[in-house]
Amino acid sequence: MRMQTSVPAQKVTVATAAAAIVQLSVGISEVYLNKPVPTAISGPITTLVVFIAGYITQPAKRDQIKIQSDSHDGMQ
């Protein structure tokens, strides 16, 4: 089985953007508050936000799986 396109799945794109937003937020807060956020805090927060973003994001229509015929199954 393969995805219909080589474009990253919508869930992957949203989760990746969520990770970037969390890390930028942490960096900005460290600069403006002049207080570092421990990685023991920022790591789990990033993980949870990425999980939630990926979980609640609906698949796009392009994210459908292309079913291959039985003759191609052994060729993977």
pLDDT tens sequence across 19-74:
999 999 999 999 999 999 999 999 999 999 999 999 999 988 888 877 777 655 55
pTM, full prediction: 0.74
Strands 65-66 and 2-3: antiparallel
Q: DSSP letters of 28-64?
A: HHHHHHT-PPPHHHHHHHHHHHHHHHHHHSPPPGGGP
Whether pLDDT at 13 is above 70: yes
By the 8 A CB rule, do 14 and 54 touch?
Answer: yes
pLDDT at 4: 77
